[in-house]
Structure 1
Amino acid sequence: MATGFFKVPTPVNEPVKSYAPGSPEREELQRTYKELKSKEIDVPMYIGGDKVYTDNKKPMLQPHDHQHILGHFSEGDASHVEQAINAALAAREDWANMAWEQRASIFLKAADLLAGPWRARLNAATMLGQSKNAYQAEIDAACEFIDFLRFNVQFMTEIYSMQPESSPGVWNRLEHRPLEGFVFALTPFNFTAIAGNLPTSVAMMGNVVVWKPAYTQIYAAHMIMELLHEAGLPGGVINLVYVDGPIAGDVIFNHADFAGIHFTGSTGVFQNIWKTIGTNIHKYKTYPRIVGETGGKDFILAHPSANAKALATAISRGSFEYQGQKCSAASRVYVPSNLWDEVKGYVIEDVKSFKMGPPEDFSNFINAVIDEKSFDKIARYIDNIASSNNEAEIIVGGGYDKSKGYFVEPTVIQTHNPLYVTMCEEIFGPVISIYVYDENNFEETLELVNSTSPYALTGAIFSQDRYAIEHATKKLSDAAGNFYINDKPTGAVVGQQPFGGARASGTNDKAGSMLNLLRWVSARSIKETFVPATDYRYPFLGENK
C-alpha cells in the first residue's frame, strides 16, 4: 500500500473572538443560545455505535435559572458500564491498528468543525448548562478544546518520531503501543475543554475509553460526542455513560482489563480511586496508568515593590472569572502593608462594578455557581465569618440568593490570621481571602505561602524587584506546577503553559503537552540484527599464542 512520513498541519492557538456588540459571532451566539434554550432535548448514553436510552430520566437545569429545564438525560446503571467496557474492548483491535494519520484526521476534522459550524452551539451549551459568560465559554469550549485537538495531534507525531540510535549491523526501533485494555475518563463540570480532552487525548494514541462526565456537564458532553461522531470517530472508541460514580467505579476498578484513568476532579475522590486501584492491583492484566488533576488553593504573593493596580486586576480577574470555579482560581492573597490601602481601594471598586446575572445578558461579568450543593457550601463559609472572633471580615460582597439561580456575590475577605480557614481550605467559588503582612516580613511570608496549603497547582508573584522575583521563584519551586510572574494564576494556554500541579493537586502530567500523551502509550523496543552471529565464541575466549 502507499504510505509516507506524513507531516501534520502546524498547530496555532485558536484566536479568541471578541463578541463585541455588532460582531457577527455575537449575533450568531445569541441566536443559538435562544434556540437551544427554547427546546428540551432527550440525551442518550453512547455505547458502541448505539444511542442508549433508559426510563430513568434526570433533568438538566440552568444554574442561573434552576426552574428552566434544558432536557433530560438517561441515567444508566452497572449493566450499562459493563456494556460500555465490552463495546470498548470490541473496538480496540481495529482502532489500535488504524494508521496513526487516519486517527489524526478524525481529531483535526473535529477541531475544524468546532472552529466553524459547531462553535456557537458548543459555546451556547456551555453557557446554558454551566453558567459561563460568552467570553469564558469562548476561551474554554471553543478555543481551548480546539487547541487540545490540534496540538495533541502534533504531540502524537513527536512521540512517534522519538526513536533510539542504531549501531552497525543493527536497526533499533521503538513502538509506542496503546495500553492493553480500556481507559476510564472521569471529567468535571467546570471546563468543557477538559471534558473533551480527557477522553480524546487517550483515544488519539490508539486507546479505547469509557467516559463518565459530571452530571452538571452532560448537556455539553452530549454535544461533544455528536461532534466527534460527525468528525468520523468510530463507535465504541469513546463510550459515554451517565452512571453514579460509586456504581461506575465498582465495575471499572474490578475489571481485569482496566488499564488507566484520566481524571480531573476533587482530591478526596482521586485519593479514594488510587486506594481502590491499589487494593485491586492483583486483578489487573497490567499496572494501570493513574493520571489526575485535582484541587488547588492557589495564591498570589505581592512583594512591597509590586504594581498596586496590576495586582488588584489580577485579584479581580483571577479570583472571580467563572465565579472562581476554576482549579487555578486565585483563592489566597498575601499583600504587603505598604500597598494594602491602594490595592483594597482598587479591588472594592472593581467588585462593586461587576454585574451579576444570567449569561444571556452579555454585560454580566458574574454568573451563577454550578448547583445547590456548591451554593450551600460557599454560603456556609461566608456565614462563618460572623463567628470568626474578629479574625476575618468581609470588605466587599458577601450576599447570596438561590431563589431563581445559584448566585453568590463576589466576596473579598480580609483576615488577620494567615491560617484562617478560608486561607487554607479549597472553596471553589467567588470568595478570595487576603492576608496583609508586614512589608518587612517578605521572607517569613514566603514560608507561609509554601507551607499553608497541601495543594500545589498555580501561584503568582507580583514584584518590580528582579532579585525578589528570582528568590520567590526558587523558594516556591514546589508550591505550584504553574507559576506566574506579574500575572494572574489562571488562563493556561495549550502548547504555551502545560497545565498541572503536584502535592495534593495531582500527578502533574501536564495537559496540553507531550508529557500527558506519553502516559497513554506503552513502548516496545525492537532490535533487528541483519547478519546474526553463527558462533557463540567471543574473541576473548581465544588462547594465547
Structure 2
Amino acid sequence: MPKGVYKLPEIKNEPIKSYAPGSPERQALKQKLVELSKGGLDVPMIIDGKEIRTGNLSDIRPPHDHQHLLGHYHQGDKTHVQMAIDAALKAKPAWEAMHWESRAAIFLKAAELIAGPYRYDFNAVTMTGQSKNAFQAEIDAVCELVDFYRFNVRNMYELYGMQPNSAPGIWNRTVWRPLEGFVFALTPFNFTSIAANLGGAPALMGNTVVWKPSKTAVYPAHLIMKVLKEAGLPDGVINLVYVGGKEAADVIFNHREFAGLHFTGSTGVFNGMWKTIAGNMDKYKSYPRIVGETGGKDYVFADVTADAKQVATALTRGAFEYQGQKCSAASRAYIPATLWDGVKKYMESDLKSIRMGVPEDFTNFVNAVIDEESFNKLAKAIDDAKKSPDAEVVMGGNCDKSKGYFIEPTVILAKKPDYITMREELFGPVLTVYIYDPEKLDETLDILDSSTDYALTGAIFSTDRVNIEKMTSRLTHTAGNFYINDKPTGAVVDQQPFGGGRASGTNDKAGSVFNLLRWVSPQTIKETFVPATDYMYPNFLED
C-alpha cells in the first residue's frame, strides 16, 4: 500500500438550506414526507451487519398524530445485547488495525451521502418521528450530523499530529490507541446528530460500539446505520440494539471488556449508571471512560441596558424552538423590572403569531412534544403553576393530547426566585420568568448561580461593556456554553463546542478534539538509535 502524510479534503460547516416557498428543497422534502406517511416501516436491529428481527414488535407513531401507525421496530432482549458485544469484540482487531485514512474516508463519505442523496430522508424521518419542523430538522439531522462526521475527521488528524519532542539520538512518538474492549453509546431522542455522533466518534478512533438509541428515535438510528454501511463501515463496528435500559445495563456494565460510556440524557440516569460502573470496577480490564452530557436549567439574564425586543426574540426562539426539547433551551429568565413590560409586550406579539401543529405544514413553528409521559409531566407543571400563589401563567398554558402531544408555548411568572420551575428541568416549551429589582443585580446573579445544580448553557443581554465583563466573570461556572447578546441555543460544531459542567455532564465538548481524546489511550514510544554500553554515569567517577 502506498504511504504518505495525507492532506485532508477541505472541512467546513454544511450550509443550511432555507426550505423557503418555491425552493426545490421544499418540494423534495414534502415529497419524502408523503412517502414516509404511507407507513409500513419494519425496522430491525443491526448486529454484526445483519438485520435482526425478533417478532416482538413495538409501534412507531408520530408524536403529533399518535393515532397514525408508521410501522414497527423489533424489540430485543439481553441475548441481543450479548450478541452485539460479541460482534463488537470480533470486529475490533481488524477495525483497530485499519489505516486511519480508511476510517476517515468512511465517515467523510457518510457525510457526503447525508448532505446529498439522503438529505431529505434524514429530514423527513426526524420531522415525522421526533416532530421537528423543517428548519429544526435541517440544522440537526443534516447539517450538525454532517459537521460532526467531517470535523471529527479533522480533529482526529490533529490529535494524531500531537507528538512529543525528541532529544539528540532519540525518537519519541505517541501512538493514539483505541480503548481495550467495547464502547456503549446510549443516545437521546431529541437530536439525530447527537445520536449519530455518540457512536460515531469512538468508532472513528478505532473503537467498536454497542448502540442503544431512544425508543422514540429508532428509525433515524436505523437510517444512520444504513448510510454508514453504504459508506463502507465494516460489519460489527457499530451494533444497533433496541432493548430496555435495565436489560442493556445488566449485560454491559457487568462485562469485563466494557471500556467506555458515551451518553446524552437525564442527569438521574447518568448518575445511576456511574454508580453501577463504580460498583463493578473490579470486573473490568481497565478503567472505563465515562462521558456524558446531561440536563440543563438554562438561563437568560438581562440588565437594565438590554434591548427589550432583542431579549424577547431570544426568549421566544431559545425557549420554544423544538418545543423546548433541547438540552440548551432557555427555561428560566431574569428580567429587571424596568425592562419587563417591553419584553412581555414583544413576547405576547410573538406568541400570538406562532402557529402550532404538524411538521408537514411548514408554517408551524411549534410541533408536538415527544410522548405522553413528557406531555403529562409538562401539563402538570403548568396546572400546578396556575394553582400556586407563588406563580402565575401569563402566556399560553393550554395543552391537548387528543390527536398529538401538543403543549402551547407557556410563560410562567415566578413570584419568588426559588419557585420549582426556576430550579428543575422540564424539557418542554415552558419558560419561567423572575422579575428582579435593578438595584439588586449582584444579589440576583448570586440567586441564579445557586438556584440549580445544572450548568449547561446561559445567556446575558446588556449594552454596557462594564456590566458584560462583570456578569461574564461572575457567571463563569454557571454554563459550559455562554452567550453574550444571543439566545443560549444553537451551538455549531467547530464554532461553539458543546457541553456543560456541574450536574450537566462531564463537559467533554462534542465535536471537538477534547471529546476524541476520551476514546483513545495514548502510548509513548521511545526509540534510542545508539544504545548505551556502559552502565556508569560521570558523577560516579573518582576525582
**TM tier relative to shorter chain:** over 0.9
C-alpha separation between the residues in 2 aligned to 1:317 and 1:120? 24
C-alpha separation between the residues in 1 aligned to 2:339 and 2:256? 58
Would the aligned equivalents of 1:356 and 1:366 in 2 still touch at CA under 8 Å?
yes
Other-structure match for 2:2: 2
Deviations 1:211-237 (A, max 9, x none): 000000111111111111111111100
C-alpha separation between the residues in 2 aligned to 1:19 and 1:266? 33
C-alpha separation between the residues in 1 aligned to 2:10 and 2:306? 38
Report the identity percentage.
Answer: 63
3-state SS in 1 of match to 2:110 = helix
3-state SS in 2 of match to 1:64 = coil
Other-structure match for 1:434: 433
3-state SS in 1 of match to 2:342 = helix
Identify the range of structure 1 (278-287 vs 442-451) with the bigger mean alpha-carbon deviation. 442-451
Q: Offset at 1:440? A: 1.2
Other-structure match for 1:458: 457
Other-structure match for 1:327: 327
3-state SS in 2 of match to 1:185 = strand
Q: Offset at 1:388? A: 0.9
Other-structure match for 2:402: 403
Q: Please give the residue correspondences for 1:86-485 in structure 2 after superposition, counting only pairs within 5 Å.
A: 86-389=86-389, 391-485=390-484
C-alpha separation between the residues in 2 aligned to 1:55 and 1:24? 40
Q: Offset at 1:41? A: 1.1
Unpaired runs of 5+ residues, structure 1, are none
C-alpha separation between the residues in 1 aligned to 2:206 and 2:67? 42
C-alpha separation between the residues in 2 aligned to 1:82 and 1:414? 50
Would the aligned equivalents of 1:216 and 1:370 in 2 still touch at CA under 8 Å?
yes
C-alpha separation between the residues in 1 aligned to 2:515 and 2:477? 20
Would the aligned equivalents of 1:185 and 1:198 in 2 still touch at CA under 8 Å?
yes
Matched, 1:538 2:537: yes
C-alpha separation between the residues in 2 aligned to 1:437 and 1:40? 54
Identify the range of structure 1 (227-236 vs 490-499) with the bigger mean alpha-carbon deviation. 227-236
Q: Offset at 1:342? A: 0.6
Q: Which amino acid aligns with 1:241?
A: V
Q: Offset at 1:328? A: 0.1
Other-structure match for 1:494: 493
C-alpha separation between the residues in 1 aligned to 2:33 and 2:11? 29
Q: Which amino acid aligns with 1:270?
A: F
Deviations 1:303-331 (A, max 9, x none): 11001100000000000000000000000
Unpaired runs of 5+ residues, structure 2, are none
Q: Offset at 1:10? A: 2.4
Would the aligned equivalents of 1:177 and 1:522 in 2 still touch at CA under 8 Å?
yes
C-alpha separation between the residues in 1 aligned to 2:539 and 2:416? 74
C-alpha separation between the residues in 1 aligned to 2:355 and 2:404? 15
Q: Which amino acid aligns with 2:505?
A: G
Other-structure match for 1:511: 510
C-alpha separation between the residues in 2 aligned to 1:387 and 1:410? 18
Q: Which amino acid aligns with 1:351?
A: L
C-alpha separation between the residues in 2 aligned to 1:56 and 1:225? 21
3-state SS in 1 of match to 2:355 = coil
Q: Offset at 1:18? A: 0.2
3-state SS in 1 of match to 2:438 = coil
Q: Which amino acid aligns with 1:174?
A: T
Q: Which amino acid aligns with 2:39?
A: K
C-alpha separation between the residues in 2 aligned to 1:386 and 1:504? 29
C-alpha separation between the residues in 1 aligned to 2:123 and 2:262? 24
Q: Which amino acid aligns with 2:193?
A: A
Q: Offset at 1:7? A: 1.2
3-state SS in 1 of match to 2:68 = strand
Q: Which amino acid aligns with 1:326?
A: K
Q: Which amino acid aligns with 2:361?
A: D
Would the aligned equivalents of 2:199 and 2:262 in 1 still touch at CA under 8 Å?
yes
Other-structure match for 2:29: 29
C-alpha separation between the residues in 2 aligned to 1:187 and 1:117? 25
Q: Which amino acid aligns with 2:238?
A: I
C-alpha separation between the residues in 1 aligned to 2:462 and 2:207? 45
Q: Offset at 1:276? A: 0.2
C-alpha separation between the residues in 2 aligned to 1:512 and 1:129? 25
Q: Offset at 1:386? A: 2.8
Deviations 1:430-475 (A, max 9, x none): 0000000011111111111111111000000000000111011110
Taking structure 1 as the reference length, the TM-score comes to: 0.99
3-state SS in 2 of match to 1:386 = helix
Q: Which amino acid aligns with 1:209?
A: V
C-alpha separation between the residues in 2 aligned to 1:133 and 1:162? 41
Q: Offset at 1:387? A: 2.5
Tell me the matched-pair count.
543
Would the aligned equivalents of 1:298 and 1:332 in 2 still touch at CA under 8 Å?
yes
C-alpha separation between the residues in 1 aligned to 2:479 and 2:411? 23
Matched, 1:83 2:83: yes
Would the aligned equivalents of 1:10 and 1:154 in 2 still touch at CA under 8 Å?
no
Q: Offset at 1:418? A: 0.5
Deviations 1:194-213 (A, max 9, x none): 00000001100000000000
Q: Which amino acid aligns with 1:243?
A: V
Q: Offset at 1:505? A: 0.2
